[in-house]
Amino acid sequence: MGVTLGINELKAVTSEMARYENMDYTGLSFSFLKRRLAYVFDKLKVRKLVAFSERLKNNDFRDDVKYYMAVKVTEMFRDPGFWRSVRHNLFPVLGKEFNVWFPDTSSGEELFSFLVLLKENELIDSVKIICQHPSEKLCNEVSEGLLEVKDEELNHSNYKRLEEHDRFETYFKEENGRLNFDKALLKNCHFRIGAPGVAQDDEVFDFIVFRNSGINYAYSRHEELFKNIVEHIRPGGFLAIGVKETIPENLSDFLIVVDKKESIFRKAGKKNE
Amino acid sequence: MEISDRKFKVVVIGGSAGSFSIVSKILSQLNPGFPVPLVLCLHRLKHVRSGLVEGLNLKSKIPVMEPFDKEKLKPGVAMLAPSNYHLFVEFDSTISLSTEDVHNHSRPSIDYAYSSAAYAFREKTLGIILTGANKDGAKGLKDIGDKKGYTIVQDPATCDVETMPQAALKLFEPDEILTPDEIVKVLNSLVG
């Protein structure tokens, strides 16, 4: 029988976790937290809250918690129409050289999809990418190009919906039950450990990909998170969120809709303003 | 207490194989002024984002829409769980969406939609399970029953695929087992 958490216990657990670096989960919605912590407790065989608090003192355990708190992106090329829109609407505007931030790289699927798109548009050598997540283990896994084999068929079929040709298998090798993404395509990706959506003060990006992470947050943190993210978009740069997410109302004046269906927005202004 | 006297805060309808025509029939026969928010959680193709809501709207007597995350439930509006997202009903009468793992091979999972509604609104939840080809929804509907909500299972004899209703009937005894026409009558009894 797993641990069932009520609201007061969730508050207590998240306060305890927030004492540690990059473990502030207090802004997540209660219903998400309830489900996710139950999942984490199950994965890490936590039977009692007291034991959880004790085990949090261990660095490796904390990294495991951060690893399992992440909701992995469901598949490569999720929403093929979104990737098509990036290729048609963003690449011609962004030019040859631009930088991209994945503020919550919860698994490889979204990043690898983007890298394939860059490769097929001959941008792979000139675009710089920063990938961020609180879990070191997760960053290492993604930087090694690892993916679960079970999703290969779905990933491949999404790719075929996006592209007229089929070169999907050239990007992967299967080894020991896992798929290894072509590491050469990761050469311009920099992985760093950090809380989702928190950039360095002076950083600005031409394109920020933050899809389906904001949905896990409660209203107040959701607004704060997006305010921070929008501040780090370069004038004239782009933001992508999940197709069923919305931008907090107080930020909508700062962003122009580029593709409503695929939830792509552009910050007003030009690159060097 | 008669069902018509109960003040439900949400009606959640779940279905899978064969359920489109039943849901369409229900929506087309609802009385105008249907007073309760309606949530539709139907198994659907992951990669097909459009078509279903448009199809349901063709005959529906109430508006059918796909909600965005954090959108409020609205009386007399049917909200259809978007493809490839789980849908949850929250305490504050909003919808939350999630891309967490599939449940019973499904995203959206009907279990999740039912259980979240039961947790949020307890006895003020009405859950209806329709035809379908897997067991998703059975446990969630039982959660509604356990919280003293009202539970209806489509009569398996009227189902294209009876696996889903039968899975519910194996788990617990619902308040009613009804044909689609009878389900419409129950829903319309909530008007006025």
- Count the residues in chain A: 273
Supply the pLDDT for residue A5.
85
Burial of A4 (0-12, 13-18, 19+ CB in 10 A): exposed
Residues of chain A contacting B119 with CB distance shorter than 8 Å: 31
Furthest CA-CA distance within chain B = 44
Burial of A55 (0-12, 13-18, 19+ CB in 10 A): middle
Residue ranges per structural domain of chain B = 3-188
Report how many Cβ contacts below 8 Å link chain A to chain B.
59
Supply the pLDDT for residue A269.
82
**Do residues A144 and A183 make contact, with C-beta atoms less than 8 angstroms apart?**
yes
Closest in A31, A71, A74 to B96, CB measured:
A31
Taking the CA atoms of residue B101, residue A71, residue A157 and residue A264 in that order, the dihedral angle to the nearest 10 degrees is 130
Integer Cα distance of B174 and B142 in angstroms = 8
Bridge partners (DSSP) listed for residue B128: B13, B152
Residue type, A266: R
Q: What is the b/e burial string over B60-82, where b = at least 16 CB atoms within 10 angstroms of the residue's CB?
A: bebebebbbbbbebeebbbbbbb
Q: What is the b/e burial string over B104-143, where b = at least 16 CB atoms within 10 angstroms of the residue's CB?
A: bebbbbbbbbbbbbbbbbeebbbbbbbbbbbbbbbbbbbb
ipTM exceeding the 0.85 mark: yes
Integer Cα distance of B98 and A212 in angstroms = 8
- The active-site residue out of B19, B109, B116, B136 is B136
Read off the pLDDT band of A272 (50, 70, 90).
low
Closest CA–CA distance from residue B179 to any residue of chain A (Å) = 34
Read off the pLDDT band of B48 (50, 70, 90).
confident
Segment A48-54 long-range contacts (CB within 8 Å, at least 24 positions apart): A48/A3, A49/A3, A49/A9, A49/A12, A49/A13, A52/A3, A52/A13, A53/A16
Read off the pLDDT band of A233 (50, 70, 90).
very high
| Residue carrying structure tokens 């920063």 | A130
Mean pLDDT (chain A) is 92
Whether residue B136 lies in the annotated active site: yes
Per CATH, domain B3-188 is 1.10.10.10: no
**Do residues B111 and B135 make contact, with C-beta atoms less than 8 angstroms apart?**
no
In the numeric block, which tokens belong to residue A68?
A: 């399992």
Closest CA to A132 of A116, A151, A110: A110
Element at B55 (helix H, strand E): helix B52-59
Residue ranges per structural domain of chain A = 7-69, 80-267
Residue A248 preceded by cis peptide, ω within 30: no
**Mean pLDDT along residues A80-97:** 96
Cα B177 → chain centroid: 15
* B122: Cβ contacts below 8 Å, ≥ 6 apart: B147, B148, B149
Chain A, window 70-109: residues with a beta carbon less than 8 angstroms from a chain B beta carbon = 71-74, 78-81
Closest CA to B97 of B86, B108, B113, B110: B86
Task: For residue range A36-75, list pLDDT tens digits in order.
Answer: 999 999 999 999 999 999 999 999 999 999 999 999 888 8
Q: Decide if A242 and B69 are in contact by the 8 Å CB cutoff.
A: yes
Closest in A39, A157, A215 to B69, CB measured:
A215
In the numeric block, which tokens belong to residue B90?
A: 């929250």
Report the half-sphere exposure of A196 (CA within 13 A, side-chain side): 29
Residue A93 has pLDDT above 60, yes or no: yes
Task: For residue range A95-137, list pLDDT tens digits in order.
Answer: 999 999 999 999 889 999 999 999 999 999 999 999 999 999 9
Supply the pLDDT for residue A2.
67
Integer Cα distance of A220 and A226 in angstroms = 10
- The active-site residue out of B19, B43, B111, B116 is B43
Integer Cα distance of A34 and A170 in angstroms = 41
CATH architecture under which domain A80-267 falls: 3-Layer(aba) Sandwich (3.40)
Read off the pLDDT band of A252 (50, 70, 90).
confident
Task: For residue range B143-156, list pLDDT tens digits in order.
Answer: 999 999 999 999 99
Element at A18 (helix H, strand E): helix A7-18
Integer Cα distance of B171 and B139 in angstroms = 7
End-to-end CA distance of chain A: 58
**Do residues B12 and B116 make contact, with C-beta atoms less than 8 angstroms apart?**
no
Integer Cα distance of B11 and A264 in angstroms = 33
Closest in A73, A157, A244 to B68, CB measured:
A244
| Residue carrying structure tokens 């809709």 | A257
Residues of chain A contacting B48 with CB distance shorter than 8 Å: none
Closest CA–CA distance from residue B77 to any residue of chain A (Å) = 18
Tell me, letter by letter, the H, E, C secondary structure of A60-86: HHHHHHHHHHCCCCCCCCCCHHHHHHH
**Do residues A267 and A233 make contact, with C-beta atoms less than 8 angstroms apart?**
yes
Whether residue B16 lies in the annotated active site: yes
Using the Cα atoms of residue B36, residue B37, residue B43 and residue B44 in order, give the sign of their dihedral.
positive
In the numeric block, which tokens belong to residue B48?
A: 């097909």
